Structure 1
């Protein structure tokens, strides 16, 4: 089953914490939309997890499509319990469970348990992981962190565009993402009709709003606010992974 995932930078993901997961369980148009959004947010992390296990890009995408087909059919999301607290952790466990079932099914076929036995060589076996590289779990978390930042940045861009500040934001964005730490602020300030101090103040406000949007993005799939700061630390740690 081929699944078309929306871009991970879609800003239509914000709502109140775990209620998004609860809504995604409902057999309604709103529930299906919430489920699509949850899958879109975690599509890239799942691909990264599968790739880090040693699978080729096409094989990883095929497996991800199969996995999310089950999720979208409603046969997995019902097991996401609020008491577990973090949808990120639940989904990673669900992917591992899915892969375990895949391996068991393949093993049964090899032993003649199915109508069409297959050769061991017929299935692509993941290569052994390079110990110098990050683990599949770390790859999942790192891609999750990048996705969270991208979605928060897109939400901020849309906010600024709605206020008629889209052009200024586009030029200030490198200072928010750290891509222009040593750029010429004086020249940028002049081009925007500001002095340097005003530019610094505007950049500081945008950074604060960006951080708030990152927290809001994380809070979507948590059961309470107390876990947000802990998840922020997971995000920062994931971004620092080698």
Structure 2
């Protein structure tokens, strides 16, 4: 993890806070899949991150693997086993909120993905992968918006992941005012930039660039399972 590079500095804590803020949805989904009611799960999620950030989280991370995904899953699993009700100060409203989290969205995602056949660990892995991919798309969209190319992005976004609803390039010519060849070139640039951002996002959660490809494979496996 990049956050482990400077374990004794404020920079490391800020980096870890950013990761927690970004990747809380899989934690919430994991907690809910344990059968914990929604309101208790919200408190437990907030309390878990408070516990994590106040502990020696950097020193306890798995340095051999260095993957924040694996570390976070192991940490929340251990946290729940250690009587989370006691650690959360138990009362609704008594837990300290360190992040502003959209639990309505988290609950909606949970209800859409949870099923009796899915284990908490599988749900965590799937929600992690989906969160990472959505963060990648959001960043890419922001870049195109900054260049006043949002219309182009919206027209070609479905081509990034080969969405079945994507329109053929030829049908986009009139909408975009571009030739088919120009649209194909724009789509190639979009896909290339998407892959660059995705790899950077993954790099922020692993300890070594050598782990990026393997981590990417595991994420894709989580989505296909």
Coarse TM-score class (shorter-chain normalised): 0.7 to 0.9
- 1:83 and 1:34 map into 2 onto residues whose CA distance is 20
> 1:188: how far off?
1.7
How many correspondences in the alignment? 199
Structure 2 match to 1:144: 128
Structure 1 match to 2:31: 50
- 1:83 and 1:156 map into 2 onto residues whose CA distance is 31
Structure 1 residue runs of 5 or longer lacking an equivalent are 1-17, 107-129
Which whole-Å deviations, capped at 9, do the CAs of 1:85-125 have from their partners, x for residues lacking one? Answer: 2111111111111111116969xxxxxxxxxxxxxxxxxxx
* Native 8 Å contact 1:70 1:76 kept in 2: no
The alpha-carbon distance between structure 1 residues 196 and 157, as it changes in their structure 2 partners (threshold 3 A), is same
- 1:177 and 1:197 map into 2 onto residues whose CA distance is 20
Structure 2 residue runs of 5 or longer lacking an equivalent are 88-113
Runs of 4+, deviation exceeding 6 Å = none
Give the stretch that moved more between structures: 73-82 or 224-233: 73-82
Structure 1 match to 2:2: 19
Greater gyration radius: 1
The secondary structure found in structure 2 opposite 1:85 is coil
* TM-score, scaled relative to structure 1: 0.73
* Native 8 Å contact 2:61 2:71 kept in 1: yes
Which whole-Å deviations, capped at 9, do the CAs of 1:215-239 have from their partners, x for residues lacking one? Answer: 1111112121221111111111111
Structure 1 match to 2:173: 189
Selected match of 1:82 from 42, 63, 70? 63
Selected match of 1:153 from 120, 131, 137? 137
> 1:182: how far off?
4.5
* Native 8 Å contact 2:28 2:45 kept in 1: yes
- 2:9 and 2:207 map into 1 onto residues whose CA distance is 22
The alpha-carbon distance between structure 1 residues 103 and 59, as it changes in their structure 2 partners (threshold 3 A), is closer
The secondary structure found in structure 2 opposite 1:239 is helix
The secondary structure found in structure 2 opposite 1:83 is coil
